[in-house]
């Protein structure tokens, strides 16, 4: 029995070492008070999803980000999905500038974080590697969203390798985002 238990423990350890360690709330945390302590650098209308995405970056990384350079280690980017105001006709209501009008209702929070070693720990093949970024998804109440398909984060962000695997922040730094 003792021998069988030892074998089972060894097998379990081998599987855990061989399994990729990416995309979990264990590594990528939702920072407390991010919506008041981080820099809100962009809002993106998603009419196809009837959402407005609020984009935040941690202030330490924002202060160090430079045009023409990859984003600094320790960069944390957060995307909040907000429902939009819906009119009586069932369509999203637009503000005076033609933008979607977000409500306070959150539908999800997504975090991507850049740390040295995250990429190597992800054990992804080179054609799927996205540097040292990792991802996590959270529900509106801040609890981890275990049903999120985080593999899609890796797949989607691959298309932005020339922007350090980000969609909006790297471009905003290149365009001279105010510090």
In this structure, the number of other CB atoms found within 10 A of the CB of residue 10 comes to 10
Whether the predicted pLDDT of 3 surpasses 60: no
pLDDT tens, 111-136? 999 998 776 656 666 666 778 898 99
pLDDT grade for 17, boundaries at 50, 70 and 90: very low
pTM, whole model, 2 decimals?
0.81
* Domain residue ranges in the chain: 34-174
List of residues 6+ apart from 91 with CB closer than 8 A? none
Q: Which residues are CB-neighbours of 31 under 8 A, at least 6 positions away? A: 37, 38, 58, 76, 78, 111
| Lowest mean pLDDT across 2-16, 41-55, 125-139 | 2-16
Q: What is the pLDDT of residue 132?
A: 87
At 160, is the pLDDT very low, low, confident or very high (cuts 50, 70, 90)? confident
pLDDT surpasses 60 at 60 = yes
Cα separations (Å) of 99 from 43, 44, 51, 91, 102? 10, 9, 11, 13, 9
Please identify, in words, the CATH class of the domain defined by 34-174: alpha beta
């Amino acid at each position: 029995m003792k021998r069988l238990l030892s074998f089972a423990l060894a097998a379990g350890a081998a599987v855990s070492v061989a399994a990729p360690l990416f995309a979990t709330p264990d590594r990528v945390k939702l920072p407390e008070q991010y919506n008041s302590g981080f820099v809100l650098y962009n809002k993106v209308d998603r009419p196809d999803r009837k959402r407005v995405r609020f984009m935040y970056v941690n202030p330490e990384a924002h202060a160090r980000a430079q045009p023409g350079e990859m984003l600094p280690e320790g960069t944390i980017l957060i995307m909040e999905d907000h429902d939009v105001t819906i009119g009586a006709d069932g369509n999203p209501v637009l503000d005076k500038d033609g933008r979607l009008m977000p409500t306070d209702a959150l539908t999800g929070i997504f975090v991507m974080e850049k740390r040295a070693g995250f990429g190597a720990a992800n054990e992804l093949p080179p054609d799927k590697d996205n540097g040292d970024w990792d991802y996590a998804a959270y529900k509106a109440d801040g609890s981890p969203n275990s049903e999120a398909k985080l593999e899609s984060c890796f797949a989607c962000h691959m298309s932005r390798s020339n922007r350090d695997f980000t969609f909006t922040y790297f471009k905003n730094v290149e365009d001279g985002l105010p510090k």
